[in-house]
Structure 1
């Protein structure tokens, strides 16, 4: 089921041959993550990437006072990792936390980079996924700097209606840069 979902998701980017698809699936392993489990952690090198079909992750870090600051959410289907750490092999700047119990496909950096050498189409897929992540990150930064918290909340609701009501308020408030009380008032006004 997960591998079929992977093939369908990859098909949005590129059409792989049966051999290429088998090679990509062959380096994956099924991993079960529990709600609140951190897949990547600040200060540790992240050497794995995940394909997530269903569920979502929260990216966060701690500020100077030890408060958790949610910087982003990634919703399945998607590939996730601590991208900077994964690519540079340096410690992560963020924690990547599962927000629900889920089953994912896990890929090691070494295995994936090995496939890049053997299969140009898979290397192209890696580039296309990285480009999609870069576009999403730039869009997120633009919205953060140029739109109100209410507009960003509405956008989050429009794009991910199945998940928004399951995200704890403190995480959404942190993501929007507002207090939980302000978020509660804003939600009431929107309804």
Structure 2
């Protein structure tokens, strides 16, 4: 996590050193939750290893996977984290997942005393926005097979760990359509 945050070149060594005492380790087994819908999220997780999926449940019970977080990335139920209201989403481990957890109160305390922490938090929020915009545009501009190929190119080692129904939902297609795409690509 220190290397990840250091990659933004915003925090001094002293500021980076403030993080370690506040980090806790959490291990999720496959299927366990980082946060469940209806609860308030007051933590940010750094994925050391494993895969998380963020999803919401429609009124008919269908689960829609809208985000997959791979290792060396941050995850949180962002709207709940910001507003302090109940989360409309759940975040679940798709594999055994090792997390480093940082509590919101600790982040706020560090940012109260550091302009650099505030810059980092703004930068992370901006990244979330850009990623969301990129996903929206990809649904509107790209075909499903193009989205799948991009995911396959970016994370080839992880794709086999994601169940077909979650991967299809993430891509905005049915599992049957994803099976056809996979078959076409293997020819």
TM-score by length of 1: 0.92
Q: Which runs of 5+ in 1 are unaligned?
A: 1-5
Q: Which runs of 4+ in 1 moved over 4 A?
A: none
What is aligned with 1:73? 68
The number of residues matched between the two structures is 186
What is aligned with 1:20? 15
1:49 aligned onto 2:44: yes
Q: Given that residues 40 and 82 in structure 1 are in contact (C-alpha distance below 8 angstroms), is that contact kept between their aligned partners in structure 2?
A: yes
1:162 aligned onto 2:173: no
Mapped to 1, the partners of 2:50 and 2:103 lie a distance apart of 21
What is aligned with 1:144? 139
Residues 109-130 of structure 1: CA deviation (Å, up to 9, x unaligned): 1111111001221222122122
Mapped to 2, the partners of 1:76 and 1:171 lie a distance apart of 18
Once the two structures are TM-superposed, the CA of residue 54 in structure 1 deviates from its matched residue by: 2.2
Once the two structures are TM-superposed, the CA of residue 102 in structure 1 deviates from its matched residue by: 2.1
Q: Which runs of 5+ in 2 are unaligned?
A: none
Residues 120-171 of structure 1: CA deviation (Å, up to 9, x unaligned): 2122212212211211111011112221111111111111111011111011
What is aligned with 1:183? 178
Q: Given that residues 52 and 77 in structure 1 are in contact (C-alpha distance below 8 angstroms), is that contact kept between their aligned partners in structure 2?
A: yes
Mapped to 1, the partners of 2:88 and 2:141 lie a distance apart of 24
Once the two structures are TM-superposed, the CA of residue 15 in structure 1 deviates from its matched residue by: 4.5
TM-score by length of 2: 0.94
1:8 aligned onto 2:21: no
Q: How does 1:82-121 map to 2 (within 5 A)?
A: 82-121=77-116
Mapped to 2, the partners of 1:189 and 1:126 lie a distance apart of 42
What is aligned with 2:166? 171
Alpha-carbon RMSD: 1.3
